[in-house]
């Protein structure tokens, strides 16, 4: 009788069973060692250096394309659209990073639609599907952009490691489905020139217990932005490590296999505040 009563109380929600709460955002169990590789700013070396290495290991990746900086004239430091199209044809994801590399704030959000369309129309002209992922340029973001991103078919958007960590540190937290807003996914690590294999390991090892580590890279090397450059030698070591340690390496859009982008937390800042508090203590 006692057990029947207990069962009834649990079923009725009067007693909450001592288990993890259900995570409706998760579509299927997230394996440990699941990492997402992302590359920002249309760097030439994405095509010449990163691409062949990623293909060697069979890794997925997202390339966030912008025509900002001097992309149009400077084909020594930036990819051509022919090269971007080839990345797509070889199975890599092309994501949207705004036409002009415009930081999106409450002041600039009214320009977001044209910024998204600037890249989407170039994709269309090159036979590339309209991007479904976005990377916030610079170190800006605003919830005022969420509806516009969704109207343009964006399902997941990646930010940096800030505000939990200062931008300068290049550190971050892994994505926690259900807690992180799908349009504010944190970078678990943002590779910098000073990074060594230990930094990559610390970043990747966060990918466990239902969390996914999203890694952010710029050029390999970044010939136009030396403060975010990764050397080819280091990058080769990072990929080799992920391969030897049997990480599953995917593009950002591949998250939809595991995570429902429609399920959003009530307060997107709650998880960010919780992490900040954790870092203080």
**Interface ranges with Zn ion (CB under 5 A):** 40-41, 137
CB nearer to Zn ion: pick between 69 and 241: 69
Phi first, then psi, for residue 83 (nearest 5°) are -70, -40
CB nearer to Zn ion: pick between 96 and 179: 96
The secondary structure element, H or E, covering residue 275 is helix 268-280
Is 10:17 a contact under the CB 8 Å cutoff? yes
Say how far apart CA 29 and CA 62 lie, in whole Å: 22
* Cβ 233 to Zn ion shortest distance, Å: 23
* Cβ 137 to Zn ion shortest distance, Å: 5
* Cβ 68 to Zn ion shortest distance, Å: 8
| SS3 state at 257 | helix
* Cβ 23 to Zn ion shortest distance, Å: 31
* Cβ 269 to Zn ion shortest distance, Å: 23
Say how far apart CA 158 and CA 50 lie, in whole Å: 20
* Cβ 101 to Zn ion shortest distance, Å: 6
Is 209:170 a contact under the CB 8 Å cutoff? no
Between the two ends of the chain, the Cα-to-Cα distance in Å is 47
CB nearer to Zn ion: pick between 95 and 137: 137
Residue whose beta carbon is closest to Zn ion: 40
CB nearer to Zn ion: pick between 208 and 225: 225
CB nearer to Zn ion: pick between 137 and 170: 137
Q: DSSP assignment of 60-106, as one string?
A: --EEEE---TTTTT-TTTB--HHHHHHHHHTTPEEEE--TT-----T
The secondary structure element, H or E, covering residue 199 is helix 197-204
CB nearer to Zn ion: pick between 41 and 176: 41
């Amino acid at each position: 009788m006692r057990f029947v009563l207990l069962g009834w109380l649990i079923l009725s929600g009067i007693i909450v069973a001592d288990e993890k709460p259900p995570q409706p955002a998760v579509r299927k169990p997230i394996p440990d060692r699941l990492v997402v590789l992302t590359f920002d700013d249309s760097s030439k070396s994405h095509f010449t250096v990163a691409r062949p290495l990623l293909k060697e290991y069979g890794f997925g990746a997202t390339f966030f394309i912008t025509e900002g900086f001097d992309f149009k004239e400077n084909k020594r430091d930036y990819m051509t659209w022919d090269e971007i199209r080839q990345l797509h044809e070889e199975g890599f994801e092309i994501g949207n990073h705004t036409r002009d590399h415009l930081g999106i704030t409450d002041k600039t959000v009214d320009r977001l639609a044209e910024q998204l369309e600037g890249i989407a129309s170039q994709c269309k002209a090159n036979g590339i599907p309209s991007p479904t992922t976005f990377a916030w340029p610079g170190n800006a973001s605003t919830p005022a952009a969420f509806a516009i991103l969704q109207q343009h078919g964006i399902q997941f958007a990646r930010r940096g490691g800030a505000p939990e960590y200062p931008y300068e540190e290049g550190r971050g937290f892994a994505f926690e489905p259900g807690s992180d807003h799908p349009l504010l996914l944190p970078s678990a690590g943002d590779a910098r020139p000073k990074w060594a294999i230990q930094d990559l390991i610390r970043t990747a090892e966060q990918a466990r217990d239902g969390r996914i580590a999203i890694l952010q890279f710029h050029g390999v090397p970044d010939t136009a932005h030396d403060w975010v450059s990764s050397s080819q030698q280091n990058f080769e070591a990072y990929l080799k490590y992920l391969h030897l340690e049997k990480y599953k390496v995917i593009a950002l859009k591949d998250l939809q296999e595991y995570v429902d982008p429609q399920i959003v937390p009530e307060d997107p800042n709650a998880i960010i505040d919780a992490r900040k508090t954790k870092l203080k203590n």
